[in-house]
Structures are given as C-alpha cells and as structure tokens.
Structure 1
Amino acid sequence: MPKPLRRVLAALAAALLAAGAVWLLCRWVGYDLQERLGGQPVYEIVNDDYSRIIDLPEEGLVQEIPLQAGQPLYGVRFRFSTHGQLYKSGMVMVDLYAGDGRLIAQTAGNFLNIFDDTFTEFVMETPYIPVQDETIRVHLYNAVPWDGPLGLWASENEVAGMPLYAGTAGENPLGATLAVQRVSDYSGSWPSALARQLALPLTAAAFLTVLLAVLHAPLALLVAAAGLALGCGFIRVTPALVAPDEYTHLAAAYELASVWSGEEPADEAGKLRVRACDAPYFGTKTGEIGIFAYKAQEQARRNEPGGPNELTAVSEADAGQGSGSYWAQAAGIWLARAQGKNFYTMLDYGRMANLLLYLVLAALAVALAPGALRGIFACVALLPMPLQLAGSLSPDAAVLGVVFLFTACCMALRRQRAARWQILLLAALAAAVAPAKAVYLPVILLCLLVPAAHLDPRRDPAAPFALPFVGSLAPGRLVQGGILLLAALLWAASNGPALAYAARDMNMALLAVGCVAAVLLLVLAAALCLRLRNSPKGLRAFRRGAAVFLALAAAGGLYALTHMGGGLAPDQLLLVHPNGDSIWTFSFGYICRNIPATVKLLLRTLPEQGALWLQGLLGTTLGEPIVYRIDVSWLLGVGLLLALLAAALPAQGEKLPLSRRAAWCGAGVLLCVVLAVLAAALNWTPINYQTLFGMQGRYLLPVLPLALLLVRSNRLFTVRRSAACGAAASIALLTLLTQLQGFGLYAAWQPVS
C-alpha cells in the first residue's frame, strides 16, 4: 500500500475514533443532565388553604380549576395525607378534562406509595394550552385499592370558581376546594434531547480537527473548518441574549436591518420599532439561562410563527445604540425578516452571519501570516472566547478578526516586499481598526515595524523622494505616515465625543493646545531625526537632547494635569444613586488629581480580579460574567495556556520574528493597549468603588497574538520542532470540551436565593 494512502487511512481512522469519542461524550452529558434535571416540574399555587382533610371516596373526586387563555398546563399537584401513618400503598389516577368535556390527559403518580403530608404531582410531557379562558375538570380516583383511607388537604370553604365534587358527574358538592398547584412547566426529557443537538456540530468539529491535523493540512483550513463547527456549537450552547451585551447588539443590528428595509426604526420617544412577533423579546437585560430557558427557546424556535417584515410594534429597547460594526449581523437579521422567520430563527441567522465574517477574517490572517507564525494566529482564533463572541451578535468578533489580520499583515511584510494590493489592504484594515474601538488605536503603530523599503508602492524602486526640511525620504515612510494619519483622523471622528466626556472636568482648550503642540513637536523631531540619520554624532546628540526634553515635558505635563480643572466638593462626593454607587466616575481629570487613589484601586483590583481576567481572555468563563458566573474547569484553562505556550515557543534554528528593537516597540504597543483598556474601565467605575468595575479579559484578546509574538522572540526557550499544528488541534478540542461543560452549567444553573 502506498505511503500517502496509508497516511490518509490512518488520519481517517484517528478522526473517526475522535468523532466516536465525542459522540459518546455528548451522550454521557445528555444522560447525566437527564438524571439530574429531567422530569423536574415547575409549580404555580392555585389554592394554598390547608384547613381540613377529605378522604378520597371510592367514586373519586372532581376538582374544577380555572385556566387562562395561553396558560400551559403540564399537570396538577395535590397534598395527600395518610392520617399519621408513614405511608400507604396503592395507586391514584388523575384524568384531566377540557372545558368542552374532552379528555386531555390521563396520568398516574410515578409511585406505589404515598407518604404522609406530602405533595405529589401528576404530569404529562405535552402541555395543554387553551385558546381561551376555560375551566378544566380534574378527576381523582383509586386505580389500586389502598390499605386504609387516603386523604387530601382542602380548604374549609369553597374557593370562588373552584368547586369540589364527590363522584364523577359533579352531583355531590363538598363545599371545599383541594389544596392544588398547577404544573406550569416540566423539563421532561428535554435535557437529553438538547444534548443530542450538540452531538452533530461537536462530532464534526472533532472529526475535522483530527483529520486535518494528522494530514498536516494548512492551518487556515483547520481554522475555517473546525471554527465553523465549533462556532455552530456556540450558537446553540449560548442561550439567547446571554452573550456579552447581546441585547444591546441585537437592538443595534435590528435597527440597521430596518434602515436597509426602508423602515423608520424609531418612534417619537426614541424607542426601537420592531415586528409584532419580535416585540416580547426586546428588553434591556441579559436573557435567561437554565434548562427551562433552553427548552422555551427551542420550542419557540420550532413552533412559534414569524411575521411579515413590517414594524408594527414598539419595543422596550432604545434606538440609536449602534456604535460598532453590525453589517454582518444586520445582514443575517434582514434575511430572516425578509423570509418571515420567527425571533429565535432570526437570532440564529444573525449569529451565523457574524460567525462567518469572523472566520473569513481569522482564516485570512492565518493564511497571510509568515509560515512560522501561523500557529500563533490559529491557536488564538480557535480559543473559546473569540468563537463565543463570533457565535453571538457581538461586534467584537469583527474587531478581533480585523486586528488579527492587520497584525498578521504587518508581520508578513516585515519579511517580504508588499504588493500594491497588500498596501491597500493594510490601509483598509487600519481604517477599520481605528473607529471600531478606541482602545485598539495603538495597534496601528505596528505598521512602523515594517521596513520602509517593503512598503514602496512603485514597481521599480528608485531613489527616495526629496522633501523640504526633511531631505530624502523613502516612499514607504510616506505610506506609513498616511496610514497613521488616516487612522488618527477616523479615530478622532468616531471617538471624539467619548474622549470629550472622559475629559469633561479638564480644561479642554488647554488640552487641545497641548495635543497640537505634541503633534507638531513629534513631526519636527521626526524630520530632524531624518536629517541627522547619516550623522552618527548628530544623531547621538539628538537622542540625548530628546531624552532630556521628554523628561522635562513629562514632569511639566504631569504637574499641569494634576492641577487642571476643579475638584469635587465634599457634598458632591456624597452624592450617590439609590443603589449606593457614586454618581461620579473616574474621569481623566479625577484620575490626574487623585493618582494615589487610582493606583490603590488598581492594586486592589489585580489580586481580586486577575484570575477572572485570564478566564475572560481564554473563554473559560461563558456568557455575561457580570450577570452569570459560568466558569468551566480550571483544568481546561491550564490546557489552553499550555497549548498557547507550545505554539509561541520558537523552534531550534528558527529566525526570530522580531528583532530586539522591534520587540521593544511591540511591547510598547501592548502596554499602550493595556493602559487604554484600564483607562476605559476606570471611566465607568464610580469613585466610591474599591476595585475596577466591568473590566473583562476579553478586551485584551486582540493583542494576544502580539504578546505571543514577543514570547516567540525570546532567545532562552526553544522547542526541537514546531508544535503549531498539534497546538491548534489541542486548542480546538479543549474549546469543544469547554462547550460541553458550559452547556451543562448553563442548563443546571439555579438563581442564588
């Protein structure tokens, strides 16, 4: 047998074995959840009066219960009495009749014994849902004789609208009402059924991951194939509107889809106009979780009708919440609305479109990255957190893909001369990163790591341009300057109001003058540096002078910032919201005037929230952690970290991706992003808090590849050969396990009492 054929067969065998193991694991998760969560009823009290005991006669009892239109009935629950004995043996049957006399259910308690003074439910898998208000009749009777009288607790007098009769024809009113509860919901066999739905995408993910890894297929293909299967799993694992800030992202994407449809998206009060079938689901809070939330969403996805694409209702959500990239999500929502799909199907369409956009960008980043660095980008792209974001409506998925692609392009162009399309791609990506999120603007500085000669747009490079006051200048420097200028202008246009709000208690005119002066000095310093670049003595003097000037400017700037603007009066410091939070947050002015207090807050935050940041970076905490803490096993987090480290370590004899100077510049970019993220978190933290509010590790995810590139540039730790393919496969399989455990945690979640 030829060696290539043997290799393919071995890969198929390994992939089938992995797929079979994951399928069995999904079956186990379903069985375990069914054992723990299956057959659980939810009760609603109908009559809670326990005044006397009525023995169950031979002909039985008939209890009438009013039921409202649309109110699901899964069964009833009664409180029995064995007259002081521990238990009695026998069997009670319960027949339920609709208002028109139809038999809608015939149930029996799943028991042979009834214990004293306990509730026993009689449930059915399929609920009865009346189309209009009606009164149902519940007939209780003995199917197997009991060893002595069996009693039921009841009220002393009849409750209005709920008479109790002895016999089957209602001829003997007893002037009482049984203590009864309505079974309003029932988990039944839904835990195992929902787990079976995950078997297909997760089994496919395991099969494709192992097959492509054993065959050493291109990592971009592994990211696209395994990422698609895992992303589809996250679409089902993450309950509706439970992903980070998803209810806000839904409103923004829905509004954009309405604009595309030619509809007016907002009413006079600024509320979002929606279809009538969507109105009940729009709100201002994170969605529900738990097995009953899963069940309700799946039933609505299957059975709930959709509606025409006409905005005839007004929701609770505010219009005008869109500040990010919602093109993909809006396209999916627009398509679902055009087809008349219901709400949950529409949500799936929007999530799928977001996932596809992310995978295109991530796979392209892996494909364009230098061969030795593709493992880093592949591993980061397949982490649970980016795939969870991509499998939701979050615009952060597109931001991640764009930043990954920009970083990969910069690293690729460090080693080769750029074609014109690559220069245009770099400029387009910079234009997309800058307005996406303000804190990621420093990433654009990575283009300065590309040699200027590699960014020359001319096909036949000749002598550099000669510019006034600067002298000769490589065209690549002009390209870099143009990219930075474009990004800065777009950033200022998109984030100017937010920046002004953050600096609301500072002297804006003085700040503007300082910023203009800083820009002019920077341009002057760059021009002077270019003029002196061929004079070692002059360049050395320039650097020393620049260092002294920066030290003096830093000291003077710090003094100006700490004395700029007015502080808060004592009575202002005491102003708080009803929940106890101060009405004031850490603005730039407050931070500058209270540097010791700010440092103390950050030092308290790190030990308290550092582990949660790491979980958020990797994705081992699911959903919206501010609302629900869904943390998977720390072993999965350790495995993800080890796989990332394996992909980041250089192979023996490999050329390092960054020189020492470039590594220091990359570390500076990384530090700027971290500081920007901390500043943004401070901006919404009340000043009476002792730790940061709302800081999440996923905010640092876009620069994780850069951090791993710095690790790869070390000269101390190496591996014998590249572990990129195995590390990427390990990340994908650990992400799969994260989904499985996360699904069980979501389903089993109970509110803290």
Structure 2
Amino acid sequence: MKKQLSLRRVVGSIAAAVLAAAAVWLLCRWVGYDLQLRVGNQPVYEIVNDDYTRVIDLPEEGFDQAIPLQAGESLYGVRLRFSTHGQLYRAGMVMVDLCDATGHELRQAAGNYANVFDDNFTGFSFGAPYTAEQAETVYLHIYNAVEWEGPLGLWASETAVKDLPLTADGKSQNATLALQYMTDYSGSWPTQLANELAPLLAGGAFAAVLLAGLQLPLAVTVAVAGLLCGLAFVRVTPALVAPDEYTHLAAAYELASRLGGEQPTDADGNLLVRECDAPYFGTRTGEIGILAYKAEALAIEQEPGGPDELTAASAAKAGQGSGNYLPQALGLRLARSSGAGFYVMLRQARIFNLVFYLMLAVLAVALAPAGVRGLLACVALLPMPLQLAASLSPDASVLGMVFCYMALCLRLRRKRAVWWEKILLIALGGAVGPAKAIYLPVVLLCFLIPVENLMGSTEFVKGPFGARVRSGRLIQAAALILAGCLWISANLGELVYAARDISLAVLVVGVAALAAAVGLVLWLYDKVHTDPKKLCLFRCGLGCTVVLAVGGGVFALSHMGGGLEPDQLLMTNPNGDSIWTFSLGYICRNLPATTKLLLRTIPEQGALWLQGILGTTLGEPIVYRIDVSWLLGVGLVLALLAAALPVQGTDAPLGRRTKIGVVGIILCVVASSLVVALNWTPINYQTLFGLQGRYWLPILPLVLVLCKCGRNITLRHDTSRGAALAVTACTLLTLLQGFGLYASWQPVS
C-alpha cells in the first residue's frame, strides 16, 4: 500500500509539474505575442534635414540622395516626406534602395501607395540594418516600381545641405530631401526575448510543483526554485537598473581590481576601468524599454570585450563601498580575466551574487527549527530578495547572513549547542554587525538562547575581580563584542556625521555610561535570576529606571540648544532643497517637527514600503516606478500569513518574555532606519526622503515568528510547502509582468 501511494504521489507530482510548466510556457508566449503587438516593429527616428520648403516631383529615373555614415553607425531605414498634390493614390509601389558608391544594392525597402499620404512622412524599413565598417557615403535610390497616374513629389530644401546632395540621373538638384534616419527598430525582439525567458520560468514552475508534491525538504525548494527564478531576474532586470546598481558596480569593480593586484584609481580619485567598460560607468540608472533589452542582447552576442588593462578613467569615483562585494567582485574578476565584454561581465557578477545569496538562504532554512523553516523559505523566495540577489546589490549577502543568524538563534533555543554551532554563532554575529548599520540590534537575538544551551564542559568560568561567569554568557558576549567592534570600525564616520552638532565629549560619555549600565544590569540579573522575589524587585526597578532615563534624556536633548539660526534655515540648494539635513541634534531639538514629518510620511509612502518588502515594485523606484499588479501583492501577503500561522499541537517558537525582546529588536531596527533616512532628508521636506521597504526585509521573518506565537487562529496541518509554492508562483508572475512593463515602458512627456 505504501509503495502504491508513493508511486501515485510521484506520478501525480510529475503530471502536475508538467501542467504547471506548460501553463507558464503558454503565458510566456502570450506575453511575447502581446508585447509584439504593442511595442514590436517600432522605429526610432533621428532628424537629419528638417529644412523643406519646396516639392520636387519624382522623375522616371528616380532620385539619389547621399547619406554619409560614420564607422560603426547603423541605419535601419529612412523616413521621407511625400506630396501627392492633394490626390489619394490607390495603387503603385515606391522603392527605396540603399546602395554604395558603385551602385551595388546593400538594402531595399518598399512602400505601397495606399500608405503614402499627402504632406506626411512615410517610413521605409530595411529588412536588416546596415552598419558601416568605416566612414563612407551611401546613397538612397528612390524610384517608382509601378507606373502611376499623376505626379508624386518629395519635399526638399531650397538649397543642398552640406554632405547631403540630391541628384537625378547624375545631375545635381541643388536640394536635400526632408530626411530622417531610422536609428533603431524593435522588430520581433519582444517575441524573441519572451521565448528566451520561457525555459527558465517554465523550469521554475516545474521544479516548485514537483518538489512540493514529493514533499522534499524546503531547503531543496529554495535552492532549485530560487536559482531558476533568480536567473530569470538576471535576464529580466535591465543592466544597471536594479536599486543603486551603478554605485555597486563601481564598488565591486574596484574590489575586483584590488584582488587582481591592480591600482584601481588615478591621481584624481577616479575609478580606472578597461577601455571597453568606460562608457557604462557613471552616476545614473540604466535605460529600460524594449530597445534597451535589444541593445543588451546584441552586445552579448557581438561585443568583443577587451584585455584586463585599466587604461581609462571613468566618471565614477573610487571608494564607494567596501565589504559584502566579494561574490560580485569574483564574478567581475573572472570575466575580466577571460576578456569578456561589459554585459557578459555584468551578468556573471550578478550570477555569482545570486549563488552566494542562495547558499546562505539554504543554510538558513536548513538550520531553522521545523516550525520556522517554512516562513523563512517563503521570505527567501520573495521577488525582492531574489531581485536584489540577481543584481550587484550587497544587500543580498546581508539578507543571507541575517537569515542564517536568526535561524541559528531560534535553533539553539531548543537544543544544546555543539562546538561548531558556537563558532558559527560568534562568526555570524560578527558578520551581521558591520554588514549594514541599522541591523546591529539583530545581534541581540543571541539572548533568545538559554544560557544553558551554550555552556561548555564547565558551567562557570572565573572572570575578572574574582567574578564567576557562566560559560554560556561568554559566547553571547563574544558575539556582541565582535559585532560592536566591527560595527564601530565600519560606521564610525557615518555616526560622527550624524552626530555632527552634538558635543563629541558628551556623546562618548553617554556611550560609556550606557555600556556600564548594560553591564551592571546583566551582572545584577545573573545574581538575582534564581530568586523569584529578588527578580521581581529587579524588574520593577529596571522598568522605573528605564522610564526615568528615557524621559530625562529626551528632556535634556530637546533643551540642549545650539540650533540653526533663522538665516541658516533659509539656505537652499539651486533645486530648492535645504542645504541642512536632519542630524541627531536637530532631531532632538525639534522632536514635534520630526514627529509630524514621520506622521505625514506613513500614509503617503506606506503602500510603497510594503511593495518594497514584497518586491512588487521593480528596479530603482526613485527613477522608474515599475509596479506590478496589486493582486500579486495580496497573494504574497496571504502566502506569508499561511506560512506564519501556528499549527495545532505544536509549541510556540518564542516564550512570553522573549516575544517582548523580539518586538524591541524590531522596533530598534525600524527606528535606526528612520534615523538614517532622516540623516539625508533636507529639513524643509514635509515627508521622509529615500526610505525603502527593502531595508526591513531582514526583520520580516521576526515579524512572522511573532505571528506564529499567537493562538487565536491555528491550522490543522502544516501549510509551509503550499505557502512556498504560492510564493514561487507569485514570483514567477511578477517576473512575467515585470518583463512586460520593462519592455513597454515609455518616458512620460
């Protein structure tokens, strides 16, 4: 019976997976067909001669219009302005041949008279573009292929424009036709690109359904489905369009140069790059649209690349980042060593970053306790982390490290740690500290672990001044101290800038007093935690002390003086932004104004924050608002809630006191992100500037763990595999719709 059920499950899972893959394949074909109708066969014109004041009738032998081309310049066709002298032609054919100086035909285009209207431009597209190998002059031979009744004229200038003479049967017409070059053409690229995406997306659907049906470990689902969806994001996200990717490119490129033993900067601090890479380095987000996709695909096929010699000074400055760029830098290093072109190099760096993120995500899911594994897998497969991982963003490795640290802390709540888990806990805590400034409070998760689970062979260790310290506390202290020291070394400059209008001496004294207070609290807790009466008094005293300290601190900071003068408040940049931004001192002195700014921000930007957490807004939202359907966002939220609901008969992952601690950690991360965003918000703004929902992705699993601790709504069976499948399905649909939105994007006039 078990064998029969197993066989039925395998066959049913394979059949369902095949159907899912077929459905996704058909969706890809539909997207390609729809895009082809909307943005396919679309030309891009460049005006060459806009001076036209007379009409010259097309002679029997035709016209020859000279066209000078530069080396490497491509011509997809031309657009000419015709005159039918007020008549509507119903039959006939106009031919436009592109010929070289000897009269050899290079390209040909035809236009039916039914499409030629009086005093209107008519486009003639060649079957394939002509690209000049060297500077040369080619000729448009315009003639009538079928006899017609009545004259057909072309608009032209009164005199010939330089380098653009018009001749007929070898005789100069002392004129130049009203002429536009077709410099680009979308052709059938929408269909072609959609067809190239189909295998990846169909493979992702097949793998997700099959793995869910066979009930394989969720870590396998994250690895396989995440890899296929991530590779699709590598293709779907246009070059340098992921969040801040041009900055991350410069930072990873600099690290790659240092890994190769090369000097990455010139005397002015500009980043040195290969000659073939220089045009792509700058301070702006990349282009989107079907023509951007086309240019990238053609460059991958035809781009020659170049040797790994840093001979060109780019527009990017060196020193834009450090740390968390090692995977991207390795990808760039290997691509440069092999002489790959820019787009191949960029894709390889993206893939390296994706693989590193997935390794950490798989490790996190494998380390997590069974009750938390499903929600962690769902978060790892969301569109936003996969989009970040499939770019050059260092946030992907930060996400992976935080997920691993969080999973290990929850794992060790239920079991005694072995030696490698203790080492991993300290290493991950130290890595999370400097990864990104706002995530330092996450290191406090080590206190979720009962100290007994971290003890070694001896329970107590002799400390300074004869104190006896439990050995498990040393593991927690090591993680905290390592994270704190690395955090200070990585963020000291930013911290000093944020506190630029606060006395440094006062700041140092305050930090020292806080550290001493924390040490005293921990020491007292260790002394009284075994005595219920003393522990109750300790908690009451600690609560009163915290309330008094917070109230007194806020009062002191808000009355410390040293604010901006009235004339300083009026100083603005040319764009109207104040030259002053919110600092720690300004925030403390203007708490009511800061609170009002945050309250205005929540209704205005709250929906965008949720989109940023889920990934239903793609690319760089400050530059391009590529928002997929809100239905996909609803589906992702429901899938996350399904993974977060507790199952009947299972223990809550957190106790009552630890839940309070987790809430405190979440609030600390949120508060830190708000302070950082305020630090680059001009003081004359009415809402917060630059805060994005993706900054809160690392604490999303903690929020879901809190949901799992509730007991108001419970499930009879575990739905984690179904939730992971639903998240994968929504991610695939996000990719499909995102590709369509990227390809069909048009600038708003």
Q: Could you state the TM-score of these two structures normalised by the residue count of structure 2?
A: 0.98
* Deviation larger for 226-235 or 308-317: 308-317
Where does residue 271 of structure 1 map in the other structure? 270
Task: Write the letter of the residue equivalent to 1:474.
Answer: R
Question: Residues 411 and 657 of structure 1 are in contact (CA less than 8 Å); yes or no, is this contact kept in structure 2?
Answer: yes
Instruction: Select which of 103, 106, 128 maps to 2:105.
Output: 103
424-433 or 47-56: bigger deviation: 47-56
| CA displacement, residues 86-106 of structure 1 (integer Å, 9 cap, x when unaligned) | 454321111101245432101
What is the match of residue 649 of structure 2?
Answer: 653
Deviation at 1:471, TM superposition (A): 5.8
Shift, 1:542, TM fit:
2.7
Q: 1:581 to 1:110 in 2, by over 3 A?
A: farther
Kept after mapping to 2: 8 A contact 1:403/1:702: yes
Partner-residue secondary structure (3-state), 2:36: helix
Contact in 2 for aligned 1:52/1:154 (Cα 8 Å): yes
Residue 62 to residue 675, structure 1, CA distance change in 2 (3 Å): same
**Does 2:568 correspond to 1:572?**
yes
Q: Which residue of 1 aligns with 2:481?
A: 485
Query: What letter is aligned with 1:736?
Result: L
Shift of 1:26: 0.7
Looking at structure 2, the residues matched to 427 and 408 of structure 1 have their Cα atoms a distance apart, in angstroms, of: 14
User: For the residues of structure 1 that align with 2:545 and 2:216, how far apart are their CA atoms?
Assistant: 54
- Post-superposition Cα deviations, 1:654-688, rounded to whole Å, max 9, x if no partner, equal 11111111111111111111111111111110111
Q: Which amino acid aligns with 1:62?
A: D
* 2:515 counterpart of 1:519: yes
Amino acid at match of 1:63: Q
Cα-to-partner distance string for 1:56-109 (whole Å, 9 max, x where unaligned): 222211111222222211111101111123454321111101245432101112
Counterpart of 1:726 in structure 2 is: 722
Partner of 2:747: 751
| SS of equivalent to 2:161 | coil
1:377-526 equivalences in 2 (<5 Å): 377-458=376-457, 462-465=458-461, 467=463, 472-526=468-522
1:180-232 deviations in Å (ceiling 9; x for gaps) = 10111111111111111111111110110111011111100000000000000
Q: Which amino acid in 2 is paired with 1:374?
A: R
Which residue of the partner structure matches residue 62 of structure 1? 64
SS in 2 for 1:109: strand
Alignment partner for residue 623 of structure 2, among 627, 645, 652?
A: 627
State how far apart, in whole Å, the 2-side matches of 1:463 and 1:129 are. Answer: 78
Per mean C-alpha deviation after superposition, the further-off stretch among 563-572 and 255-264 is 563-572
Distance 2:115 2:666 in 1: 68
Residue by residue over 1:95-141, the C-alpha shift from the partner in whole angstroms, topping out at 9 and shown as x without a partner, is 10124543210111266442222111111243212133222110111
Aligned counterpart, 1:156: 158
Instruction: Report the equivalent of 1:700.
Output: 696
Indicate conservation of the 8 Å contact 2:367/2:408, yes or no: yes
1:635: how far off?
A: 0.4
Q: Aligned letter for 1:244? A: P
Distance in 2 of aligned mates of 1:483 and 1:28: 52
User: Is the 1:507–1:565 contact (alpha carbons within 8 Å) kept by the matching residues of 2?
Assistant: no
Q: Specify whether residues 428 and 84 from structure 1 end up closer, same or farther in structure 2 by C-alpha distance, changes over 3 A only.
A: same
* Alignment CA distance shift 1:228-1:110 (3 Å): farther
CA–CA distance in structure 1, aligned partners of residues 329 and 127 of structure 2? 37
In structure 2, which of residues 63, 77, 80 is the aligned counterpart of residue 78 of structure 1?
A: 80
Measure, in 1, the Cα distance between the counterparts of 2:272 and 2:467: 59
Matched, 1:613 2:612: no
Are 1:531 and 2:527 an aligned pair?
yes
Which residue in 2 is equivalent to 1:343?
Answer: 342
Is the contact between residue 92 and residue 112 of structure 2 (CA under 8 Å) also seen in structure 1? Answer: no
CA shift for structure 1 position 163: 1.6
Cα 1:565/1:7, change in 2 over 3 Å = same
Deviation, structure 1 residue 466: 5.4
Unaligned runs of 5+ in 1: none
Partner secondary structure for residue 217 of structure 1:
coil
In 2, Cα distance between the equivalents of 1:202 and 1:158?
55
> Taking structure 1 as reference, are residues 463 and 350 closer, same or farther at Cα in structure 2, changes over 3 Å only?
closer
3-state secondary structure, aligned to 1:162: coil
SS of residue in 2 equivalent to 1:79: strand
Consecutive unaligned residues of structure 2, counting only runs of 5 or more, are: none
Residue 586 (structure 1) aligned with residue 576 (structure 2): no
Alignment of 1:546-565 (within 5 A): 546-564=542-560
Q: Do the aligned partners of residues 530 and 263 (structure 1) sit closer, same or farther apart at CA in structure 2, a change above 3 Å counting?
A: same
Secondary structure class of the residue paired with 2:116: strand
For residue 163 of structure 2, what is the amino acid of its counterpart? G
Could you tell me how far 1:489 is from its partner in structure 2? 1.1
Q: 1:264–1:469: structure 2 CA closer, same or farther, 3 Å change rule?
A: closer
Contact 1:90 1:147 in 2 (8 A): no
- Residue in 2 aligned with 1:678? 674
Aligned counterparts of 2:89 and 2:670: Cα–Cα separation in 1: 66
Name the structure 2 match of 1:36.
Answer: 38
Structure 1 residue 547: deviation in Å? 2.5
What SS is found at the alignment partner of 1:489?
helix
| Counterpart-to-counterpart distance in 1, 2:533 and 2:362 | 48
Instruction: Name which of 46, 61, 65 aligns with 2:48.
Output: 46
Query: Residue 540 of structure 1: CA displacement?
Result: 2.8
CA separation of 1:470 and 1:88: change in aligned 2, threshold 3 A: farther
Q: Distance in 2 between matches of 1:164 and 1:17?
A: 61
1:471 and 1:530 in contact (8 A); partners too: no
Query: Residues 109-508 of structure 1: matches in 2 within 5 Å?
Result: 109=111, 112-167=114-169, 170=170, 172-458=171-457, 462-465=458-461, 467=463, 472-508=468-504
Q: How does 1:661-672 map to 2 (within 5 A)?
A: 661-672=657-668
**Equivalent residue for 1:89?**
91
Q: Distance in 1 between matches of 2:270 and 2:406?
A: 39
Which amino acid in 1 is paired with 2:691? M
The one-letter amino acid of 1:66's match is P
Give the CA deviation at 1:497. 0.9
CA deviation digits over 1:383-402, x for unaligned, max 9? 00000000000000000000
